[in-house]
Structure 1
């Protein structure tokens, strides 16, 4: 009989310590499958934990307070290519999923999952699969079908939501935040939230940078 592999070594990253304690307790029921070797509540500590423990997998939220788990995923997969990253989050948004896959994530799982399902997914990741929460799988297939049919919105391939794309189009057209809010019938605070999101996804820090990316990519004609 072949010798079973050692437990998969995990670093857990979430900005809520209560979540980390809950994951510890849940995963503690599966000592033959997983071993938690590190914890972090922010990106800096997460990178330190990965450097110190060389885990097989990092289980990380999409949002880490004011930091981005997607940016952390990109850093880990670039600096530590032997370490896999799985996003464990409450955001059941296929656009976050697309962005996660673009930065090298090996999985995207929703936090409502139970312990056995989580371990099963982690075992599949260890074997080289990319796992997607079943609750998102159907929507991803539909999105892919719409994309191939040319029915998707501009910027979807960059991870933009439909509303972020609408905001960006209005910025390109020269509208102020107030003008965008009026066009979309939303508050200026909502517009600012969408703008921050599209800046992060496009990797820019200001309006001119976002417009430059939109023009370079030919998003709006």
Structure 2
């Protein structure tokens, strides 16, 4: 029997990213086929339930209150056999840890080429866990540090190392623009980190985030 192409649903809050992925994967029609796409977690859930794809490929960060990590967790809770791969621009191993805790079958970077992406998706379909090779090595080192009790401030709140750095500057009273200058990041990237901090600390504004950091002694 001839193997059928893997059926994929793509989830990303930027339609241009989805179209780029579709164009990239079109070169591998005999191995993968995009059967659905969604620009939000809310739209993705019923779509996945209706189409029952082999693999869901989603960005880590999505607009709105439901992240790609949350979507992954929901999809796996609804169907433990659901295979979800997180495709992200963030090469932060803390995101990788969170993805695995959410039940993801893979965590890959958006810098992956077409052949690498398809090969990893085929591994996932066969029951393997696909991790970006460079991140996998760093994750092992971070796990060893965690085992030894050495980790960055805020890790217990699931803050990534970069988010911890941003929170430190929030506590110091710096603006987003000033933080961007300190960390050599774009201001929009800093805003994205700040939103993630708010979500993880369960607050709605900078003052509340600072209050939680001080109350919990995150930087002591």
Q: Secondary structure at the match of 1:153?
A: coil
1:187 has 2:193 as partner: no
Distance 1:13 1:192 in 2: 22
Match of 1:10 in 2: 8
Match of 2:33 in 1: 35
> What is the CA deviation profile of residues 2-59 of structure 1, one whole-angstrom value per residue up to 9, with x for unaligned ones?
x343221110011111211121122122223212110111112111210210111110
Q: Which moved more, 1:136-145 or 1:110-119?
A: 136-145
Sort the Cα spacing of 1:59 and 1:188 in 2 relative to 1 into closer, same or farther, 3 A. closer
> What is the CA deviation profile of residues 168-213 of structure 1, one whole-angstrom value per residue up to 9, with x for unaligned ones?
799xxxxxx6xx224xxx33775986664234235x34549x959x
Q: Secondary structure at the match of 1:15?
A: coil
2:94 touches 2:161 (CA, 8 Å); kept in 1?
Answer: no
Q: Displacement, 1:164?
A: 4.5
> What is the CA deviation profile of residues 50-81 of structure 1, one whole-angstrom value per residue up to 9, with x for unaligned ones?
02101111100111234411111111111132
1:181 touches 1:187 (CA, 8 Å); kept in 2?
Answer: no
Q: 1:42-191, aligned counterparts within 5 Å? A: 42-66=40-64, 67-162=66-161, 164-165=163-164, 180-182=171-173, 186-187=174-175
1:164 touches 1:195 (CA, 8 Å); kept in 2?
Answer: yes
Q: TM-score, normalised by structure 1?
A: 0.77
Size of the alignment, in residue pairs? 203
Sort the Cα spacing of 1:166 and 1:20 in 2 relative to 1 into closer, same or farther, 3 A. closer
Sort the Cα spacing of 1:75 and 1:91 in 2 relative to 1 into closer, same or farther, 3 A. same
Sort the Cα spacing of 1:61 and 1:187 in 2 relative to 1 into closer, same or farther, 3 A. same
Where in structure 2 are there 5+ consecutive unaligned residues?
180-189
Q: TM-score, normalised by structure 2?
A: 0.77
Give the superposed CA RMSD: 3.0
